[in-house]
Structure 1
Amino acid sequence: MAGWTLVKVALLSDCYPPRLGGIERQVHDLAHELVRAGHEVEVFTATTGPAGERGGVIEIEDGVTVHRLAIPLPNGLPVNPFAPPEVRRRLLAGRFDVAHAHLGVVSPFATDLVRVALGVGLPVAATVHCVLGRWVPVMRAAGHLRRWAGRGVALSAVSRMAAAQVREAAGGARVGVLNNGIDAAWWAAGEAGAADRSGADGIHVVTAMRLVSRKRPLALLGALHEARRQLDPSVPLRATVAGEGPQRRAMEAYVRARDLDWVSMPGRLDREGLRRMHHAGDLYVTTARLEAFGIAALEARAAGLPVVAPAGTGVDDVVEDGVDGLLVSSDAGVAEAVARLAGDDALRRRMRAHLRQDPPRQDWPATVAATLDEYRRAGAR
């Protein structure tokens, strides 16, 4: 196992594109980055394909083989309790070197497939992508993470905060930290010119999120409102909140009620649209407290934006307080930090200069290398 150079990997995930979400996107990008590095990758998922493909259909997308093991369920729910026997057959036939499961709080498909992979003798890595929070006692009582660790599964989570929770749920087992990855150079491309306009036409605060209560978008608007109150009235301030979701109507009502006509909500943006938004911005802000990692903050940091965020989340792995942005303890702290950065051109420019010179360590080559280390750890055990 230590002599591995190129490997054949089975990625196991309930969710995969065309579903939208953080796990889906990371598993997709990891698969393609592993292939780009010369490895073989096959994805096993309970998500239907773009045209509703399911029932074991196999697709090839840019060198990645995708096994669509979905069954017809309402809203395309990515669950298939009948998949294990067929996946077992395919894993045995595929001569894989390692299996890598990607898990949220509730991941019945990937959980079943960890057992299948162990049953056919594969080394298994398992990465938790979510905040367990109040589910820690439940998962500790269920015991599967502890049992997996006892059978040699290399457990990991996407941040130090998330890893601590997984460790507790797994009864103190070793849990690695496997940060998500991005193409840092792509996000930075064109940023140098954008940085030169910092504050030229007022301060532009940007953010991107799903407009759901877990991301606390109303708290974000409240922090922006308070930051505007604290900021010198002579400093123009505007904000762009990119994203879509069920909280939009409540947010629009909040904006109308408080005359926040300087806040725009353009809806969901694709990656190119997000990059353009970041390059037109001066700082990035989030009030989310249940961030296992904070991929949106990492993308903003890579694009050269100082980040304001609550401390004690996965964003701690992305942002060094006072260097890459400001980490705070409360919503009031978010408002104060936004007002401080908006009103201090020298601080903002100093941070942006640092961000241009010091790309994030979660670039894909480093993330792929760390992933392979987890595979070796699984194999060694």
Structure 2
Amino acid sequence: MESLKIALASDWFFPSVGGIEYHVHDLATHLTAIGHEVHVITRFGAYPDEKLPYDVHRFKGRITINSLHVSIGTDMLKKVNELYKKEHFDMTHGHSIYSPTAVGVSNLSSGIRRVPSMITNHSFLGNSMLNPAYIAVLRLSLRKVNSFIAVSEAVERDLRSILGKSLRGRPIYTIPNGIDTEFWRPAEDKEETKSELGYKGVVVTTTSRLTKRKRVHIIPKIARTIREDYGDNITFLIIGDGPERKNIEEAIKKYRVNDMVKLLGKQPRENIKKYLQASDIYLSPTIYEAFGLAALEALACGVPVVANNHGGISEIVNHNSSGLLSQNDYELLQNLRKLIEDEELREKMGKEARRSVEKRFTWDKIVWDILTVYKETMNLTPMQPFALYKLYQTLKRGIANASVFNL
């Protein structure tokens, strides 16, 4: 495939840290490594961009919401438009239909600059009384995007429901997130790693943003039940931060499991990897997961996953092979018990977990799947420019030069 000049656009990029941020970085890095020129278009922020193997362009719009890490405005898009005039991109790839920058740049790309655009949707819409109005805005704002990627079949169904008839035959491709299997890998000696961190017995780990939707608050209650059955030889590690942290701390006190439930807060990637390498089981209590990148990281580290059989996480965990899927919280607890009791089964599932990731989710595979979608999108019938832009171009050229009277 010939070299492409690709723009990746999203509000969510370094210095903020999360699943989309690392996805954009990893995709940009791997595209660059195989000979493509990548430019990331994102919001303002202090970060050593010069150390990255690709170009980063940061813009600040008039409307900025720091708590959500978003920034947008017509002044910002004017500057992005100048960038497009200068760089002559072949493809624009936005990340998240809920990112103002991703949506704004994608619309500018295909609706003004005539550069094909697509957006990867990484998450569910969620439940809100404002959904009807929000969906109407999404349908309007996404009308110039040429194609879409969903990170799971569950997200694809959600996206089709959101767009409805406004999809107008535009393709949605399902491509999962990729993972760096050189970084996320099993420890050479799990017990040694566990000892270095000061733990013993069975270690059960959860990495998550602490929100109500993630349901991490049920872990202290689960821990109390587990203690009644197995004593104190179990440690639960919760890695992450968020608005529910205080409630989780109170639940730990309420169920008197301070000694066995460790709330570790937000951790850098290197630390998360080490905690996973020391873990025997990964526990995911959420029932509303778009993909499950944290669970994928655990699988890559050779850790079997116990999760609910809902959303995208059920598409990456093979039941009775790389983990155990549950229909409700009672089954979740029973499956957790099953793995706690059976060390041989944990080891068998851990090995299969690693194999499944190497087979399906490596960036070496995912990056070529995405490139195939780029080519297919570039071969689609180009979107018509925005009507106002066509009018502006007509007036700019002059009525005579536009051949208005030569019908």
TM class, shorter-length: 0.7 to 0.9
Structure 2 match to 1:194: 190
Structure 1 match to 2:38: 41
Q: Distance in 1 between matches of 2:243 and 2:218?
A: 15
Task: Please point out which of 97, 100, 107 is paired with 2:99.
Answer: 107
Deviation at 1:346, TM superposition (A): 2.7
Q: For 1:347-378, what per-residue CA distance to the aligned partner results, in whole angstroms no more than 9, with x for missing partners?
A: 21221232344434111111111111221121
Q: Secondary structure at the match of 2:72?
A: coil
The yes-or-no answer on 1:144 pairing with 2:134 is: no
Structure 2 match to 1:65: 55
The yes-or-no answer on 1:159 pairing with 2:152 is: yes
Residue identity matched to 2:54: V
Structure 1 match to 2:389: none
Task: Please point out which of 328, 337, 340 is paired with 1:339.
Answer: 337
Deviation at 1:345, TM superposition (A): 2.1
Please give the TM-score of this superposition, normalised by the length of structure 2. 0.82
Structure 1 match to 2:346: 348
Deviation at 1:34, TM superposition (A): 1.3
Structure 2 match to 1:203: 202
Q: Secondary structure at the match of 2:12?
A: coil
Instruction: Check conservation: 1:47, 1:69, Cα contact below 8 A.
Output: yes
Structure 2 match to 1:90: 83
Deviation at 1:290, TM superposition (A): 2.5
**C-alpha distance 322-47 of structure 1, shift in aligned 2 (>3 A):** farther
Q: Secondary structure at the match of 1:272?
A: helix
Deviation at 1:138, TM superposition (A): 4.5
Deviation at 1:87, TM superposition (A): 1.1
Structure 2 match to 1:324: 322
Map 1:157-236 onto structure 2 (within 5 A). Answer: 157-171=150-164, 173=167, 174-189=171-186, 191-194=187-190, 201-229=200-228, 231-233=229-231, 236=233
Instruction: Check conservation: 1:146, 1:170, Cα contact below 8 A.
Output: no
Aligned residues: 365
Task: Structure 2 unaligned segments of length 5 or more: list them.
Answer: 381-407
Structure 2 match to 1:307: 305
Task: Please point out which of 253, 256, 260 is paired with 2:253.
Answer: 256
Deviation at 1:147, TM superposition (A): 6.0
Task: Please point out which of 66, 73, 84 is paired with 1:75.
Answer: 66
Quote the sequence identity (%): 29
Task: Structure 1 unaligned segments of length 5 or more: list them.
Answer: 52-58
Please give the TM-score of this superposition, normalised by the length of structure 1. 0.87
**C-alpha distance 340-145 of structure 1, shift in aligned 2 (>3 A):** farther
Greater shift, 64-73 or 265-274, is seen at: 64-73
Residue identity matched to 1:124: S
Structure 1 match to 2:384: none
Q: Distance in 2 between matches of 1:165 and 1:96?
A: 30
**C-alpha distance 154-89 of structure 1, shift in aligned 2 (>3 A):** same
Deviation at 1:110, TM superposition (A): 1.8
The structure number with the bigger radius of gyration is 2
Task: Please point out which of 4, 8, 22 is paired with 2:5.
Answer: 8
CA-atom RMSD in angstroms: 2.6
Q: Secondary structure at the match of 1:265?
A: strand
Q: Secondary structure at the match of 1:187?
A: coil
Q: For 1:254-294, what per-residue CA distance to the aligned partner results, in whole angstroms no more than 9, with x for missing partners?
A: 11221212111122221111111111110000112222111
Deviation at 1:99, TM superposition (A): 0.3
**C-alpha distance 114-353 of structure 1, shift in aligned 2 (>3 A):** closer
